[in-house]
Amino acid sequence: MIRFHKEGYKIIVVSLLLTVAGVLLAEKFIEIAWVAKSIQVLILGFLIIILQFFRNPKRNTTLNENHIIAPVDGKVVVIEEVEEPEYFKDRRLQVSIFMSPINVHVTRYAMSGAVKYSKYHPGKYLVAWHPKASTENERTSIVLENSSFGEILYRQIAGALAKRIVNYAKEGDEVVQGTDAGFIKFGSRVDLYLPLNTKLAVKLGDVVKGGTQVIAEKK
């Protein structure tokens, strides 16, 4: 059974109503049959895009405090050592995952632990792969802490199409690896900032599956 994320319920209902209305109106008022059918197909196609975007497949996470799992579905587009200026203010290992509009856009907690920091930043809507997207786009920064890795930071970043980031993490929360941490509406990316001694289990160009795939582990 297909499951949908709660952030999409309102949009899905409105889209369904508009689809039914559009199909009926095309049937009633457009006399040229092929034109009416073409419009109806386009309307139904739009509905399918909305439905697939807000799908929320069940993921079975194997809990392991020594593993960092992919927080989202997508493609690994950045792996590099960088200066993280907002929270750590030191060198970290950055792993960035880009989500296209056809990916599942649910954000899941990469590890279990305590939420130490959670902050929203308004900003621009540069394309998500732009080098300045991490610091200039609309984004949220969340820090999790556990006994194995210490603190890690993940950042939800809006893209050119994404106009709303949903973040459920609140400072002081105790969260469970693989559970729902939020949602980013339409194309976007998530950056992870890990300790430098973290052992990666992915490489550039890998396509990862959120909530289940191990992307890093404790050495």
Q: Per residue in 52-81, is it b (16+ CB within 10 Å) or e — as a string?
A: ebbebeebebeeeeebbbbbbbbbbbbbee
> Cβ(107)–Cβ(118) under 8 Å?
no
Active site amino acids: 188
Residue 151 has pLDDT above 90, yes or no: yes
Q: In this structure, which topology does domain 67-217 adopt according to CATH?
A: Glucose Permease (Domain IIA) (2.70.70)
Residue 132 has pLDDT above 60, yes or no: yes
> What pLDDT is attached to residue 100?
85
| 18's tokens | 């508009």
**Cβ neighbour number for residue 139 with a 10 Å cutoff:** 26
Q: How confident is the model at residue 89 (pLDDT cuts 50, 70, 90)?
A: very high
Compute the mean pLDDT over every residue in the chain, rounded to the nearest whole number. 91
Predicted confidence (pLDDT) per residue in 155-210, tens digit:
998 866 555 789 999 999 999 999 999 998 766 889 999 999 999 999 999 999 99
> Cβ(203)–Cβ(95) under 8 Å?
no
> What pLDDT is attached to residue 137?
77
Residue 44 has pLDDT above 60, yes or no: yes
> What pLDDT is attached to residue 127?
62
Distance, in Å, from the CA atom of 84 to the CA atom of 87, rounded to the nearest integer, reads 7
C-alpha distances out from residue 60 to 11, 75, 88, Å? 27, 20, 31
Residue 142 has pLDDT above 60, yes or no: yes
Q: How confident is the model at residue 21 (pLDDT cuts 50, 70, 90)?
A: very high
> What pLDDT is attached to residue 149?
95
Residue 125 has pLDDT above 80, yes or no: no
User: What angle is formed at CA 29 by the lines to CA 26 and CA 30, rounded to 5 degrees?
Assistant: 65
> Cβ(117)–Cβ(141) under 8 Å?
yes
**Cβ neighbour number for residue 210 with a 10 Å cutoff:** 27
> Cβ(169)–Cβ(175) under 8 Å?
yes
Q: How confident is the model at residue 133 (pLDDT cuts 50, 70, 90)?
A: low
Distance, in Å, from the CA atom of 192 to the CA atom of 198, rounded to the nearest integer, reads 12
Q: How confident is the model at residue 39 (pLDDT cuts 50, 70, 90)?
A: very high
H helix intervals, the chain: 9-29, 33-53, 133-136
Predicted confidence (pLDDT) per residue in 74-88, tens digit:
999 999 999 999 999
- Return the minimum-mean-pLDDT range out of 86-95, 100-109, 201-210: 100-109
Q: What is the pTM of this model?
A: 0.88
Residue 45 has pLDDT above 90, yes or no: yes
Domain ranges of the chain: 6-53, 67-217
